[in-house]
Amino acid sequence: MKKKKAKIIIGSTDVVDLPELELENIPCKIDTGAYTSALHCTRVRIIEKDDQTYLSFRLYDPKFGIHNKKEYRFKDFKEKRVRSSNGEVDYRYTITTTVVLFDQKIKTAFTLSFREKMKYPILLGKRLLKNHFIVDVSQDDLNLKQKNKK
């Protein structure tokens, strides 16, 4: 019989690393009401180059401590229908990348969203949380505190 891995307690907010995007300690909000995680970005566009289709975007936003001005390009992406908390339906692009949280590397999907007016550039949804974490909203920054102990 396969033994279940113990779930880690995560608070209502924290920081994550996105190594494939060269980002560390990016603030995030844990959102158990969202299925898919969301990532703040700008200049989202589809480009054609050498008979290939790419999704291009930037993450630069000093407000969120993201100072990387790099243009990212993904060949593997999808367009997804999403319903916002106010019931509006929208279409957003989705990419899959690795999140590092509590020393665990987890591949997950992110919808690309303009979150400039939001407090956090990243939302972590149920798809990522499931099978890995238990949310305790009375706590926050547990991953950051663990990283700072090292």
Residue type, position 120, single letter: Y
The closest of 110, 107, 73, 113 to 95, measured between CA atoms, is 110
Judge whether residue 128 has pLDDT over 90: yes
The closest of 62, 60, 64 to 25, measured between CA atoms, is 64
- Judged by DSSP in three states, 120 sits in coil
Judge whether residue 28 has pLDDT over 70: yes
Q: What integer pLDDT is reported at residue 3 of this predicted model?
A: 67
CB 40 within 8 A of CB 122: yes
Q: What integer pLDDT is reported at residue 64 of this predicted model?
A: 65
C-alpha distances out from residue 68 to 6, 64, 99, Å: 35, 11, 17
Domains belonging to the chain, first-starting first, are 8-149 (2.40.70.10)
For strands 104-113 and 37-40, give the pairing: parallel
Residue 25: pLDDT band (50, 70, 90) is very high
Mean pLDDT value of segment 90-103: 94
Judge whether residue 116 has pLDDT over 80: no
pTM value is 0.86
More confidently predicted of 61 and 13: 13
Mean pLDDT value of segment 56-64: 78
Place of tokens 């949804």: 125
Mean pLDDT value of segment 47-62: 87
More confidently predicted of 69 and 108: 108
